[in-house]
Amino acid sequence: DCPQEVGQKIQPLGGPMGKYTEQFKLTAISAYLDGSDGFRKVAKRFGIDVSLLRRWVSSYQSKSSLSPRSHGQRYDDDFKRQVLSHMHEHRLSLRQTAAHFGLGQSSQIGNWQRQYYSGSPVAPVIRQKKPIKVPKKIKPAKPTDTDDSQKPRDQLMAELEYLRMENAVLKELKALREEKERIPAKKS
């Protein structure tokens, strides 16, 4: 409750690596909601990550509480389906959905979504005009020289997956190479 000098960093109880107290979180949230500074400035002042502050504020705004479900909790498939269906139905982001359901990490919902698209049991029941057939896990296959029109669908899907993975790897290599070239340029 003591006034802070402008630009002075506020440290959480237990140092920057410790868990944050409820009071610290509420102070940071209030500083953002009551002030004119954006997420970045407030997060910097409190010595926390911007995405962490965003998550706290989003959670607080959605249910006026900070306590997410217990860390490391396992969720049943019905709950996961409910979360994914709600997200798609209301066109929410991962972060908004996590805040709505009181989940600590929005990345958890992203994992559930990937499981859905890979055909695992978590697949939500999403009502659509045409049912979507999600293929079982496809083992990538290197493309062959034979005519594509003569190949079975499973083989084409496996080759497509292989090409997508190959493309992703090449893009990553290109990005790493560009980053490597940029670093010496900055030092000069």
Asked if residues 94 and 106 have their Cβ atoms less than 8 Å apart, the reply is yes
Mean of the pLDDT values across residues 136-141? 63
Token pair 């290109």 in the structure block, residue: 174
Are 2 and 50 in a shared domain?
yes
The kind and range of the H/E element at 67 are none
**Percent of the residues in the chain that have a pLDDT greater than 90, as a whole number:** 2
Name the least confident of 33-37, 115-119, 145-149: 115-119
Name the least confident of 28-42, 59-73, 90-104: 59-73
DSSP-based three-state secondary structure for 80: helix
Q: How far apart are CA 157 and CA 177, in angstroms?
A: 30
Q: Which two tokens stand for residue 122?
A: 């978590």
Looking up residue 11, the CATH number of its domain turns out to be 1.10.10
Q: How far apart are CA 113 and CA 103, in angstroms?
A: 15
Are 82 and 61 in a shared domain?
no
pTM over 0.85: no
Distance of CA 13 to the CA centre of its chain: 27
Q: Which of 49, 67, 85 is the last residue of a domain?
A: 67
Q: Count Cα neighbours of 2 within 13 Å in the Cβ-side half-sphere.
A: 5
Asked if residues 65 and 101 have their Cβ atoms less than 8 Å apart, the reply is no
42-88 pLDDT tens trace: 999 889 888 888 877 877 776 655 555 555 567 788 888 888 888 88
Does 154 fall in a domain?
yes
Does 44 fall in a domain?
yes
Asked if residues 66 and 23 have their Cβ atoms less than 8 Å apart, the reply is no
Which range in 8-22, 64-78, 106-120, 132-146 is most confidently predicted, on average pLDDT?
Answer: 106-120
Are 12 and 51 in a shared domain?
yes
Are 1 and 46 in a shared domain?
yes
Mean of the pLDDT values across residues 126-150? 65
> Which amino acid would we find at residue 126?
I
Which range in 67-81, 111-125, 146-160 is most confidently predicted, on average pLDDT?
Answer: 146-160
Structural domain count, the chain: 3
- For 152, the domain range is 148-187
Q: How far apart are CA 108 and CA 90, in angstroms?
A: 18
Longest dimension (CA), the chain: 75
Are 5 and 62 in a shared domain?
yes
Asked if residues 106 and 97 have their Cβ atoms less than 8 Å apart, the reply is yes
Does 141 fall in a domain?
no
Does 128 fall in a domain?
yes
Asked if residues 103 and 65 have their Cβ atoms less than 8 Å apart, the reply is no
Are 17 and 50 in a shared domain?
yes
Are 97 and 118 in a shared domain?
yes
| 126 pLDDT above the threshold of 60 | no
